[in-house]
Structure 1
């Protein structure tokens, strides 16, 4: 079967415009934006932060560089998953990239959920402002008391009471829920009892942020960093009442929705990780050529030639594997694509972490400080090895798919 990992000419030209804006307009503003986080309330945007971010978003929107993630949709550019993967890589090169083009997680996945499974009323209330970049959203799945990598464990109580559902329980690692612009949560809950098949016990429900009974307990820290003002929040629900029409598709459809949401999102995460690896390798190479020790550029010392070569080769391998997973997604068979998505979900963060670690090493003490973006990038990517399923779960899926080829021969 022929596989095409390239792009149509018109979309290649579009990608070049995105890359130019990232290089010339967004990256130069990174330091100024980040410096504002420590100014005043970390969970509110300063006037300068808003000016920087909203100014860049307005420019991107005015240029028509907006909502690329809407693959195979008449509302977007009609990009294939393979084509969008190239865009995600470019956007991954800067922490501000995805949001400037309205392609941020978890919003893209949530918008897909609203588009595919939401009622007209929910689309008007939530999808429209999300598509316009006017609000942010969060996806609440993981729970502190259960092993959430097995989603059949999800246990937040969701009980029908008249025209409402009543929610009780806790969620954590709710990425983006700390953002003051976050207005809505898509939440995985349990609606079925032990008498229901285990993959029919969970449902998805739309919960407006700030609903009575919702309490944000704390921001979760990643290696001591709270990732303000985005945040990964620990949230308690106490008798939270939500209109019954906010339940998506009906009771017991949570897994169906989750798989439709998470597959493309994993590819997007992985290609952004490859973009971060490319950025780190550039920093590594520049440092190795301009910094000297023992009378020579660092590039000429030790095994640095080999290190640089290995980084380049591993990035190329990871990119090709990710594009192959994207190609399988484009064929429309989610089951066939799943093992490839699991492979790249393990490989891309691993490769990116290695490249960033080598870049840190090349920078010495500066590499672990706030003076380069490397430490923040490493922290983010270490978290990605857990987000959307830990490595062990994805390796299990890959192994099961591999063994299935041979167990069928034994039947």
Structure 2
């Protein structure tokens, strides 16, 4: 079993590491200052500069395995690159056009969209000219069960009419967001997994009202384009805006969320690595009770345990990526659920210990740790809460041993 990365991956890792060191990390305080003084949902000027530099270096659309649209990398090749972008999750992913929710929406359009839909929406997303939103979660139902969604999508001649309310619609607060992918019910009487469909709704369609932006532990989460609460009131779109066929919305959602889950987990490894690096630097520099923190037994225990947990999670993520490449997302379902459970919990633990090592500075704006923790904790809910994945994983395991 060979654990080495191939030559192309190593080349891209080196280029991406240089890009982070020379441009992204120095831009973090600039980005924070610009975000604090401007529209909290808009992109900062320094981010535009980073995107231009990334494109110049060939670091663009790394996540898409289809060479017609992206870099043509496998999941296993992309995993260590996504890990590196996770070290600066509020800048690096978007700088290389690999930020959620656009990544999932681009994958969805590439796989399920019509030629016209890809030409109109996928191509400008690939170019980074616009952003998009994914509208699935609703405030009035338990959205951990996606079959609960109540938004109605009703056929009326050559149009669909959409009525409902969504929230946590990632990407919708960005002023450059031009298209919403909306999931709703087209046939409430069908099988529970065949009731849903997806339609494309341009942001400026009459009847679309963005009510407010949702905050995440007090953060705007502007990197993801923010998260909006949106009303759809008698919204009419052409029937050609349907993605796939009626009744395939649930299956498309699952196909979209699979790669999204592993991408989040890849970046979480990088977030944990950044936190551990910061903890080690702090431990070496800070004196408490007459000696460096690095000589305190409890701090050494944190550091050792962090390394063990990161390595365990990385190996499971890489195995999952390999399975997705070799047997497909369905064949890797167990491992996808396992990493979605394990990786956020790991990163949350490591970041928490780094925060503890920094004391008051750890929860302030003077380090990236508070924002890293908020994003990590949120990922125990996003793309399905821990409990749903644990329940599904347990049922799958139990079926193996039925008499």
- Is the TM-score greater than 0.5? yes
Q: Does 1:356 align with 2:354?
A: no
**What are the equivalent positions in structure 2 for 1:317-396 lying under 5 Å apart?**
317-396=312-391
2:204 corresponds to 1:210: yes
C-alpha distance after superposition, 1:189-232 (max 9, x if no partner): 110122x1111100011111121111111111222333347311
1:242 to 224, 237, 241: 237
Q: TM-score under structure 2 normalisation?
A: 0.97
Q: CA deviation at 1:5?
A: 5.0
How many residues are treated as equivalent by the alignment?
401
Does the CA contact (< 8 Å) of 1:6 and 1:82 recur in 2? no
Which residue in 1 is equivalent to 2:305? 310
**What residue ranges of structure 1 are gaps of 5+ in the alignment?**
none
- Name the CA shift for 1:38/1:20 in 2 (closer, same or farther; >3 Å): same
C-alpha separation in 1, matches of 2:326 and 2:212: 42
- From 122, 131, 135, give the equivalent of 1:136: 131
Note the alpha carbon deviations across 1:85-125, whole angstroms, 9 max, x for none.
11110010002111111111111110111111111111111
| Residue 174 (structure 2) pairs with residue 179 (structure 1) | yes
Segments of 4+ moved more than 6 angstroms: none
Q: In the alignment, what sits opposite 1:119?
A: 114
CA RMSD of aligned residues (A): 1.4
Measured after TM superposition, the shift of residue 400 of structure 1 is 1.2
Could you tell me how far apart the structure 2 residues matched to 1:41 and 1:109 are? 25
In structure 2, distance between residues paired with 1:133 and 1:226? 21
- Given candidates 72, 78, 90, the residue that maps to 1:84 is 78
Return the alpha-carbon distance in structure 2 between the equivalents of residues 380 and 93 of structure 1. 12
Deviates more, 1:220-229 or 1:121-130: 220-229
Aligned partner (choices 31, 39, 61) of residue 41 of structure 1: 39
The match for 1:66 is 60
329-338 or 82-91: which moved more? 329-338
In structure 2, the partner of 1:105 is 100
Q: Which residue of 2 aligns with 1:300?
A: 295
For normalisation by structure 1, the TM-score amounts to 0.95
The aligned residue for residue 51 of structure 2 is 57
More off after superposition, 245-254 vs 223-232? 223-232
Match of 1:226 in 2: 220
Query: How far apart, CA to CA, are the structure 2 residues paired with 1:259 and 1:305?
Result: 41
Paired residues of 1:5 and 1:82 also in contact (CA < 8 A): no
